[in-house]
Amino acid sequence: MAVQQAAGSDPYFPDHGDARYRVHRYELALDYRPGPNRLAGTARINAIAGRSPLAEFVLNLADFKIGRVRVDGRQPHYTHRGGRLRIRPAKPVRAGAAFTVEVQWSGNPKPVHSPWGGLGWEELEDGALVASQPVGAPSWYPCNDRPADKASYQISVTTPSAYAVVAGGRLLTRTTKASTTTWVYEQSAPTSSYLVGLAIGKYQTVLLGDPGPGGVPQHGHIPAHLLPEFSRDFARQPQMMDLFQEVFGPYPFGEYAVVVTEEELDVPVEAQGLSLFGANHVDGARSSERLVAHELAHQWFGNSVSIADWRHIWLNEGLAKYAEWLWSERSGGRAAQHFAAVAHRLLSAQPQDLKLADPGRKSMFDDRLYERGGLTVHAVRCAMGDDAFFRMLRNWAVLHRDGAVTTKTFTAHVNRFADEPLDALLDAWVHGAQLPPLPTQFPARPTHPPTNAESA
């Protein structure tokens, strides 16, 4: 299992996250009333100080009313401005020491502003959902909001009993008392703050396929009237799971859930063990099947194998984009070479000013990053040949499971499996702005999938 990396402040979001400590576990107890959109919460955060004594530290939390703050049971001095809860313990925390923070907060949650619109907690017409990428997590709970600081979570949500609560992880208990129900979820795998997903609504739950002994439980949570369309649109997700486990390695979490909201979403959103789709992604014609594959692939690339900071987002999106192409190729659709040619043609007609390894905050969600990311993975495949490529890809997901990586990590990893160093190829695709030529020497497909022994 990979060791979690420490990282400095994120260059794209310097006000988010605090590298002076890391969180081991969050325990969140929330009470949410959809009508007035009222949230009250208590967080217990178990953390570990870094290499220096911790005289103060910062949690990110939006503009809520703070009711109580404690550090190891003692009242600290704190200020709460601009989405930053700055805490000064009564006594500095020793270097390397464990400490516990308790925060109570309440108010009307709303999305945080960003160049991409509102992020985080979104009130729906009848319920709520959380879509936090990249910095929306503080819209609903206090956190060390940087992707490399990964922790386990227990989330308890109390809401009127007419509503279902879906979160990433395993449902431990569901307890009804009077007119409310409390749902408790456990996500034991290390999770980035932006990947903590939540949906509150009136959903019908269905099982997607029969996981069988040792399989991955997969559930869908959808409005009842969309069930016929959903049943067709997501019918092949169990086959996707089988394929991705073959080529990426074992599914990294205990279960997987998809939620379809009543409302439209611009794009689906991945969370740890959970993906959120809008009603516009369900039409009964499998029009969004590539997005079903994309979001599932993020469970390996982006969620289990996370990025050290947002400069490296192409590692998430490029590999998930390539998973779309692999699914098509292996399920009787167009080959990856076809999609690579289409992407290359589109990119050739657009400005040549995006560098994958550091696209800048303004361009981190640019469509060109997704397409060029997929092309880069394809170029690596073409250079390596299928046998070495798929061994490399599977080993990448297994070796860095639960960890955080960079573009430099990926380059070194590729070179371990290539017959000759691919630094020049990756430098052109990842660090250069000019689009390299389309790879055309496509190797033959392997005669058999990579085995566990081959992936080691």
The Cα–Cα gap between 275 and 253 comes to 13
Q: What does the alpha-carbon distance between residue 404 and residue 426 come to, in Å, rounded to a whole number?
A: 20
Fold of 1-194: Immunoglobulin-like (2.60.40)
Using CA atoms, how far residue 104 sits from 21, 63, 141, 376, in Å, is: 21, 13, 10, 46
Q: What is the pTM of this model?
A: 0.94
C-alpha torsion sign, points 344, 346, 348, 353? negative
Rounded CA-CA distance 450/256 in Å is: 24
Q: Amino acid identity of 280? A: N
Q: For 412-455, what is each residue's pLDDT tens digit?
A: 999 999 999 999 999 999 999 999 999 986 554 443 444 443 43
Q: What is the pLDDT of residue 442?
A: 56
**CA triple 399-245-444, angle to 5 deg:** 95
The span from the CA of 46 to the CA of 402, in Å, is: 18
Q: Which two tokens stand for residue 60?
A: 């990110």
Could you report the per-residue pLDDT of 45-69, keeping only the tens digit for each?
Answer: 999 999 999 999 999 999 999 999 9
Share of the chain above pLDDT 70, in %: 95
State which amino acid sits at residue 157.
V
User: Strands 256-260, 218-222: parallel, antiparallel or unpaired by DSSP?
Assistant: parallel
What pLDDT digit, counting tens, does each position of 85-141 carry? 999 999 999 999 999 999 999 999 999 999 999 999 999 999 999 999 999 999 999
SS3 341: helix
Domain 203-304 has CATH 3.40.50.920: no
Query: CB-based burial of residue 200 (10 Å sphere; 0-12 exposed, 13-18 middle, 19+ buried)?
Result: buried
Per-domain residue ranges of the chain: 1-194, 203-304, 306-455
Average pLDDT of every residue of the chain: 94
Match domain 306-455 to its CATH number in 3.30.1330.20, 1.10.390.10, 1.10.3720.10, 1.10.760.10.
1.10.390.10
Between 442 and 298, the higher pLDDT residue: 298
Give the chain's end-to-end CA distance (angstroms, integer).
13
Q: How many CB atoms lie within 10 A of CB 50?
A: 17
* Model confidence pLDDT, tens digit, residues 219-259: 999 999 999 999 999 999 999 999 999 999 999 999 999 99
pLDDT at 3 over 60: no
